[in-house]
Amino acid sequence: MRKTLISLLGTSMLATGALTTGCASTASGVQSSAFVAGPDISLTQTAPKGTALAIVRYPAFIEDDAESDFADAYAGMAIGGGTGATDPVETQALANALILKSNFFAMSLYRELASRLPEHSVLLSPHRIMLASDGTLTSEPMTQAESIASVVTVDFTAYSYPDLERMMGGKPLTFGDLVTPVVTVRTDPRTSVGSEGILMASAPIIGAAAGGNYAQAITDATTMQSGRLEAGVPELDIISHISGTPRLSPETQSVRQRSGSAVRSYPIEKIQLDDTALAALGSDDTDILEAPFTNGFANQIISLINTTDTTRATMLRRADKIADYDESLAALTLIGNDSPDYLTRFRYAERLLEAEQKYLSVQSLRLYDGIVNGEMGSQVRDIITSEYNILEERRKLSRQQNMASAFAVIAAIGAGTIAISGRNEREPTCEEIRDINLQEACLKERERKIQSCQRIRNQRERSDCIEEAYQGRRRTSGNIAVAGVLAQAAAFSASEAMNRNKLSQIVGGNYLEAIVPALNAQTEIQVDLIDSSETITAIRFEDLKTKLAELYSENQRSLDTVATRCAYNGPVEAGTWLGACENGVANGSGVGIFRNSSGDLVEHYGYARAGVADGPGYRIVRAPNGSYSIEGNFSGGSANGIAQVERSGSVALRRYTSGRDMGAAPAGSVIASPFRMGARTG
Amino acid sequence: MKQFLLTATALLLPTAALADTAPIMLTADQNEQCVTMMSGFPDDSPESRYVFFRLSQELAKDVTPELSQLMADFMIANETRRLPADWPMLDVIEDIADPVLRQAAPAQTVASMAHIAYFNALCGPFVQGQVDSLLAFSPDLAETDILIREDALYLRQILAEALDRLGASDNMAAQAYALSLVLERDDIEYIGFEDEIGELETLYMGDLDTKLSRSNDAVNEGINVEAFQDAVELANDMNDQAREQAQAERLYSLVRILGRVG
């Protein structure tokens, strides 16, 4: 009796153990992304000449000395909650897999966008993850694609939670037939100021993306203050996220929090690829990610491009590029003007940008070709297929684990019920037991019992014994043999459940452990391809630029007004004006950088007279808790008249008098804008 | 004489009126007049015919109603004889290009240009029809457009100079015409620039594409295709081992559980 109770106790503990190991998840995902893949959205926007519409950025390589920092950061800021990783080797393998898959699946997005947007207007920008000079983790473009102005840039990462043990759970995963995209769609921080230029992002990285763009905007403005037109390239948002955006100062960390409400959010979702398409992977050029994700995501991107102000989104980078050829013209292009001498010269300069854009688009096309086609693409597809097989095996083991767990629980409950039920109740006969496993155990027990009965000499007692064996005996405190059998079955099932779970973990671990060298080799090959491509491209690119510069200087027109650097009379101290100057101060179109009375960095794009803003202007204030913009008429350096004010999450028309906000302006009021050709005044 | 000049004005005014209208159907008389005016056009090859049709179009470009009026005013003021309405265009063009006439009789240049404007206004649809037919016959003819535009610009500059010499420099229509010539010159030069850049692009993009394609091939050829298969086999072996061990543990568990009760 005591032995049986102990056994029962052990059984229930094992069953509880089985329950805690899981109802094991079978690592499933959604069949299609949250982006509704409706009919294709058409492009309604025209980008200025020499400007890309979209640049796809992705992590392509981790430098050796950044590997451990990356793995630590990746484990420490896991998307999906918790701190992730338990085994550094496995985390490293998952990090390598993340890079490899991002390389591969980013091509799906490139292909979709390139097929739907005008020729040469989509570029690829692989990033190298490295340590910055201050020792923090960052990323830099491996090619010159991002030197071309673009209306939007799209960050794409195929993400996996950094803990192998959670692979079969609900955590984000990119493995086999599962892909978890982590994305950002951003424009330049000089437009969509209220959201720091972030148009859409995966929910967990919105703050990092906004923080990254904000930090970059501050850097750009500071550079302009020193007299140079330069638009920097922000690091990948996934890097900003896992490294905690170290480039944000403590005062500006609130940008991360505030930006959340101003940006279109994309939930983290595990997309499950169609198994039929997966089975045919590599047999044709079908893109397995297109139907469930890329098509819908491309629609989102195009719709965001359609609603983005392309002039503001590209003005600084275009001016930066034009400065390579013609510094006298560069700052004037920020606002532009209608004079024939300017228009003629600008037309030539734009054509140079277009030549650069076309040239670099060839590199993107060949990167795509190199990664997707040939042996390299074939190997990645083999890896995906192999992962799929592993995942399927683990799913099978999980299902077996679940069945064993369920059986263990049922058996334990059954055993417990029999053990504690009333003394005078009759036990069920074997035939009355519905569960086939329990019934089998009961029949075996009955057989054993009958054989035992045969040894009784007294015939009456022998008959009673056999009858009891067949009909189920009245329970007595010492007679819980069936309960014992059930307890044994429960114990074995629970043990089986744990065994399956362990085997599943081992299968996943073995695969990753074995595949690490192959993943590394594959990543290195992709890096070779990108590096080699960049070397070839860069040599010829420099040569092309020299030729373009010669051609430009041969055809150059004179300008009545040229851009120079002079003083902008800020409210507190002198700032910098890049543009038209007279007598050493701002006079005409250009951009002024100065600090306001609160000490915030201010960019003023528009017109100036006698050193201060005068006429239509677009002013961006980089406040510590987020940027805001004022667009309208200015006089004496301050807003004066109706202006449109954009802050985080709101756009409003306000009335200003000598820089003072006098309240809401009537709806439908027309504002002055420096970017409106022809009539710029409101 | 006055009557003649009035006729000349009347002849020019329809030019202005026709300039902004959509193509119209020509009457039989008008059609005959257009044929007469083009009588001297070469007919030896599609190329030369195309050049003359396009040149007559280009010469009339940017002649606004205000400029037509200005030309008429100068003709009246200088008592310039108008050209007969059916005067062949070839002679008109040759007159404009004639250096002697250009120097000695700027008003005659004005009259010639007025005649061209008139011709284009009257016979524009006819000329456009001829141009379209020739282009349909040989699309390559369009490649000569830039040369035609350059020639036309040269002749139009003669008109601008003539107007200037006649004292029209302060007139807004003449200034607008002079500006249009500057823009036309810029446009022509830009096309030259565009051609050169186009050649550079073709050269560099083609070269880059070839080199990158070769580089891709080289990288692809260098891939160790067995490394991955070996890794998968290793994983499979390890998994088989794990499965065997799991099976052994299973039996052990079973024996242990049964033994505990028994």
Instruction: Please state the three-class secondary structure of A350-361 as a single string.
Output: HHHHHHHHHHHH
Kindly state whether residues A135 and A256 are assigned to the same domain.
Answer: yes
Q: Which residues of B touch A496 (CB under 8 A)?
A: 250, 253
Judged by CB atoms closer than 8 Å, whether chains meet at A488 and B201 is answered as no
Residue A569 lies in a domain: yes
For residue B190, which residues of chain A lie inside 8 Å, CB to CB? 344, 347-348, 555
Is residue A301 within 8 A of residue A113, CB to CB? The reply is yes
Q: Could you tell me if A524 and A618 lie in one domain?
A: no
CA angle B228-B234-B239, nearest 5°? 130
What one-character-per-residue DSSP string does A206-263 give? HHHHHHHHHHHHHHHHHHHHTT------PPPHHHHHHTT-TTS-GGGTHHHHHHGGGS
What is the model's pLDDT at position A197?
93
Cα of A510 to nearest chain B Cα, Å: 5
CA A135/CA A65 separation, integer angstroms? 10
Q: Which residues of B, range 142-201, sit inside 8 Å of A by Cβ?
A: 179, 182-183, 186, 189-190, 193-194, 196-197, 200-201
Domain boundary among A473, A497, A532: A473
In a domain, A630, yes or no: yes
Residues of chain A with confidence (pLDDT) below 70: 1-27, 36-37, 82-86, 246-257, 259-261, 401-428, 434-435, 437, 472-487, 489-501, 503-505, 507-508, 677-682
Contacts of A374 in chain B (CB under 8 A): 216-217, 220
- Mean per-residue pLDDT, B56-64: 91
CA distance A343 to A678: 13
Does residue A409 lie in a domain region?
no
What is the 8-class DSSP label of residue A583? Answer: T
Residues A155 and A249 in one domain: yes
Residue B210 has pLDDT above 50, yes or no: yes
How far is residue A395's CA from residue A391's CA, in Å, rounded to a whole number? Answer: 6
Residues in chain B with CB shorter than 8 Å from the CB of A344 are 186, 190
Chain B hits for A539, Cβ within 8 Å: none
Is the dihedral angle over the CA atoms B29, B30, B35, B36 positive or is it negative? positive
Q: Is residue A5 part of a domain?
A: no
Average pLDDT over chain B, rounded to an integer: 80
Q: Are residues A520 and A456 part of one domain?
A: no
Find the closest chain A residue to B213 by CA distance: A366
Same-domain status, A535 and A568: no
Residue-wise pLDDT tens digits, A44-95: 999 999 999 999 999 999 999 999 899 889 988 888 876 666 677 778 888 8
Closest residue in A to B211 (Cα) is: A536
- Interstrand relation of A122-131 and A137-141 (parallel, antiparallel or unpaired): antiparallel
Report residue A336 as tokens. Answer: 């532009």
Query: Is residue B137 classed exposed, middle or buried when 0-12, 13-18 and 19+ CB atoms within 10 A define those classes?
Result: exposed
Q: Which of B220, B231, B243 sits opposite A375 (nearest CB)?
A: B220
pLDDT at A60: 93
Q: Which residue of B has its CA nearest to A14?
A: B257
Q: Which residues on chain B are in Cβ contact (under 8 Å) with A348?
A: 190, 193
pLDDT at A471: 72
- Is B252 near chain A, with CB under 8 Å? no
A673, part of any domain: no
Residue A96 is predicted with a pLDDT of: 86
Half-sphere exposure at residue B230, Cβ-oriented, CA atoms within 13 angstroms: 9
Question: Tokens for B219?
Answer: 């990288």
pTM for the model: 0.80
Tell me if B261 and A374 make a contact (CB, 8 A cut-off): no
pLDDT tens digits for range A336-349: 988 888 999 999 99
Same domain, A374 and A466: no
Q: What is the mean pLDDT of residues B222-245?
A: 75
Residues in A closer than 8 angstroms to B197, CB to CB, are 351-352, 355, 548, 551
Residue range of the domain that includes A469: 428-473
B25: contact with A, CB 8 A cutoff? no
- Identity of the residue in A518, A528, A537 whose CB atom sits nearest the CB atom of B208: A537
Best interface-test mutation with B: which of A379, A524, A552 has the largest number of B CBs within 10 A?
A: A379
* Cβ separation A370–B179 shorter than 8 A: no
A458 and A605 housed in the same domain: no
| Own/partner long-range contacts of A143-146 (Cβ < 8 Å, ≥24 apart) | A143/A360, A143/A363, A143/A367, A143/A530, A143/A533, A143/A534, A143/A537, A144/A360, A144/A534, A144/A537, A144/A538, A144/A541, A145/A52, A145/A55, A145/A360, A145/A363, A145/A364, A146/A55, A146/A57, A146/A233
DSSP A133-149: TTS-EEEEESSSGGGS-
Please tell me which of the candidates A352, A495, A544 has its beta carbon nearest to residue B204.
Answer: A544
Reduced to 3 states (helix: H, G, I; strand: E, B; else coil), residue A336 is coil
Query: Rounded to whole angstroms, how far apart are CA atoms A675 and A606?
Result: 8
**Is A198 in the same domain as A325?**
yes
Read off the pLDDT band of B26 (50, 70, 90): low
B11 vs chain A: nearest CA distance in angstroms? 35
Residue A203 domain flag = yes
- Segment holding A383, helix H or strand E: helix A374-420
Nearest CB neighbour to B215, from listed A488, A515, A532: A532
B257: chain A residues, CB-CB within 8 Å? 488, 491-492, 495
Contact A551 B182 (CB under 8 A): no
* SS3 at position A625: coil
List of chain B residues whose C-beta atoms are within 8 Å of the C-beta of residue A93? none
Contact B257 A532 (CB under 8 A): no
Strands A52-62 and A122-131: parallel
- How many angstroms away from the CA of B125 is the closest CA of chain A? 32
> Going by C-beta distance under 8 Å and a sequence separation of 6 or more, which residues neighbour residue A665?
A642, A643, A653, A654, A655
Query: Count of domains in chain A?
Result: 3
A440/A518 same-domain check = no
Calculate helix-pair angle for B2-19, B106-137, nearest 10 degrees: 40
> B231 and A503: CB-CB below 8 Å?
no
B77 Cβ under 8 Å from any chain A Cβ: no
Q: How far is B164 from chain A (nearest CA, A)?
A: 22
- C-beta atoms surrounding A251 within 10 Å: 10
Q: Are residues A155 and A106 in the same domain?
A: yes
Residue A54 lies in a domain: yes
Residues A579 and A533 in one domain: no
H helices within B98-144, ranges in order?
99-104, 106-137
Residue A375 within any structural domain of the chain = yes
**Higher pLDDT, residue A439 or B262:** A439
Please tell me which of the candidates B197, B215, B234 has its beta carbon nearest to residue A551.
B197
pLDDT score, position A2: 47
- Answer yes or no: do B200 and A548 touch at CB < 8 A: yes
Residue A116 sits in the same domain as residue A196: yes
What number of other Cβ atoms are within 10 A of residue A30's Cβ?
14
Among A473, A506, A530, identify where a domain stops.
A473
Provide the strand spans (E) within A19-175.
52-62, 122-131, 137-141, 150-158
Cβ within 8 Å, pair B253-A340: no
